[in-house]
Amino acid sequence: MALSDHIPNNVDLSADRKLMKGLTRWQPAYLEWWRDMGPSGFDEDLIWLRTAVSVNAKGWAHYDHVRMKDYRWGIFLSAPAPEEKILFGDHAGGSLWNEVPGEYRGMLRRLIVTQADTEPASVEQQRQLGSAAPSLYDLRNLLQVNVEEGRHLWAMVHLLHQYFGKDGREEAETLLLRRSGNPDRPRILSTFNQRTDDWLSFFMFTTFTDRDGKYQLSSLTNSAFSPLARATRFMLTEEAFHLFVGESGVDRVLRRSAAMTRKDPNGEASRHGAINLETVQRYLNFWYSSCLDLFGAEISGNAADYFASSLKSRHREDRYSEHQLLDQEYSIEHMLEGSLQTQEVPMRCAMNEVLRDEYIRDCERVVKRWNATIASFGLTFRLQLPHRRFNRVQGIHAGQCYSPEGAPMDPDTFDTRRHDWLPSSRERASIQELMRPIYTPGEFASWIAAPQKGIKGRAPDFEYVRFADPHHPAA
């Protein structure tokens, strides 16, 4: 079978011999990486997966029970919008680019490689989770997220191969060599080297880290480099499901937590096989603060250059009326000479912070919905997002100590309170204790409620995973 049959695509792959040749070489290395670093233990099993087969509004998603090794990772670009012009930055009003301008080659490559690197990283972080899945429904959702992150890597590797020549092909190879959490060859961005080996972390990751993905991708959908804009537009359609997995996952955890908190005379859900609400808050604090770092420095020359060069815009740039941002300023509050002060910086230099603002507003909406769930159980406990300065390791607040409310503190006081705010290794171990697989259709682990409905019209007790061997080692 020709490679183009193995790789569903709408980029006329079979007509481009050079691209075909490059990807034919890269594909075996990818499959080897998937075997070594992808989901562990489900190679022979039939998983009810959605596969992207075209970008048409009607027919892009196809559902079937498939083996992950037979999954067909495809390359899709959203259709070009006729007459579309560059929307923002110094090139606003000009025609979109179908080739990489020489002067922006380095910047564009860096953006694409950074985006690409997160995709396999997340798959590596989630590699062991299947063996502790709280249900077949959740197992299927995990594996769906994993194959789609694999496809996102394909999307970026396609750009590297088609538009960046030899260095692009080298970067594509290196993407399969870095490893999440490896001290010698770590993944590029901080959060993608964190451990995600329990399901509460997974649901926080898909809520907060995939949400960074949504905002970063959204800011690339207006790129003047049209192939990047069209690739990220299609990736965003898949991202919506990852965010659903995260938000609904935490919501179901909260339902069990809240019910068991009510039941226990001392309000300790953990005595009934559920997770304490305070623990959920500490996991939230950890993942959310780590994800704020993913937006980069508050005051960033890189960010200004990306905007000026019409490579990376704001979220929903089309909703703004002014797309140059030359004479505007942005005020940032941070520690200057020992006290919190407000500094005015040129707007273009604050583009990372502007995107972080949009992200924070979105996270606030999510927490509001979670709190409505807790309130519906008659409890007064409420989750809260910590302040943007809390627990940061990148940017102007890095290495300083602030309470979750944003008040400056001395490092010793912070240390004594650390485990009021962030999970301790003991707390992590207690969550790990709960992680036991449930592989009977329609059954769910004690720490998570069943979903209200299943996937694509199927019931929650549908057989989302059919084990090849009924005595599955993990079952």
Binding site for Fe ion (CB under 5 A): 119, 149, 152, 210, 213, 242
Contact between 98 and 139 (Cβ < 8 Å):
no
In the complex, least distance from residue 221 CB atom to ligand BYC, rounded to whole angstroms: 12
Give backbone dihedrals phi and psi of 474, rounded to 5 degrees, phi first.
-85, -15
Tell whether residue 107 is a contact of ligand BYC (CB under 6 A).
no
Element (H, E) at 172: helix 165-175
Judged by beta carbon, residue 24 or residue 114, the one nearer ligand BYC is 114
Q: How far is the CB of 428 from Fe ion (least distance, A)?
A: 24
- Report the distance separating Cα 141 and Cα 205, nearest Å: 14
Q: Does 302 bind ligand BYC (CB under 6 A)?
A: yes
Q: Which two tokens stand for residue 11?
A: 């980029």
Residue 313, binding choice from Fe ion, ligand BYC, none, Cβ under 5 to 8 Å by partner class: none
Q: In what order do the strands lie in the sheet with 61-66?
A: 61-66, 46-52, 465-466
Contact 320, 418 (CB under 8 A): no
Piece of the chain touching ligand BYC by CB under 6 A; list 81-89, 112-120, 337-345, 435-443: 112-120
Closest to ligand BYC by CB, 190 or 371: 190
**Rounded to 5 degrees, what are φ and ψ at 62?**
-125, 125
Listed ranges 222-230, 290-298, 313-321, 342-350: which one lies at the site for ligand BYC (CB under 6 A): 290-298
Q: Is 269 helix (H, G, I), strand (E, B) or coil?
A: helix
Nearest to ligand BYC of 114, 128 (CB atom): 114
CB 63 within 8 A of CB 49: yes
Distances (CA, A) of 183 to 31, 91, 99, 117, 180: 24, 41, 36, 16, 9
Choose which of 52, 156, 294, 401 interacts with ligand BYC (CB under 6 A): 294
**Is residue 353 involved in binding ligand BYC (CB under 6 A)?**
no
Sign, Cα dihedral of 51, 54, 60, 62: negative
| Contact pattern for ligand BYC over residues 204 through 233, marking x by CB under 6 A | -----xx-xx--x-----------------
Map residues 163-192 to x or -, x wherever contact with ligand BYC holds by CB under 6 A: --------------------------xx--
Contact in structure between 300 and 349 (CB atoms under 8 Å):
yes
CB of 472 to ligand BYC, least distance (A): 27
Nearer to ligand BYC, 108 or 379 (CB): 108
Binding partner selected for residue 226 from ligand BYC, Fe ion, none, CB under the kind-specific 5 to 8 Å limit? none
Q: Whole-angstrom Cα distance, residue 414 to residue 424? A: 14
**What are the distances in angstroms from CA 14 to CA 73, 102, 173, 228?**
16, 27, 22, 20
352 binds, among Fe ion, ligand BYC, none (CB under 5 to 8 A by kind): ligand BYC
**Residue 257 interacts with ligand BYC (CB under 6 A)?**
no
Pairing of strands 46-52, 329-336: unpaired
According to the binding rule CB under 6 A, does residue 350 interact with ligand BYC? no
**Using the rule CB under 6 A, which residue among 259, 297, 332, 450 binds ligand BYC?**
297
Report the site for ligand BYC in 370-409 (rule: CB under 6 A): 394
171 binds, among Fe ion, ligand BYC, none (CB under 5 to 8 A by kind): none
| Residue 471 neighbours by CB distance under 10 Å | 6
Among 296, 404, 423, 460, indicate the residue that binds ligand BYC (CB under 6 A). 296
3-state SS, residue 214: helix
Grouping H, G, I as helix, E, B as strand and the rest as coil, residue 207 is: helix
Kindly state the helix (H) or strand (E) to which residue 344 belongs, with its residue range: strand 339-346
* Cβ nearer to Fe ion, comparing 45 with 119: 119
| Interface positions with ligand BYC (CB under 6 A) | 111, 114-115, 118-119, 122, 149, 189-190, 209-210, 212-213, 216, 293-297, 300, 302-303, 312, 352, 394
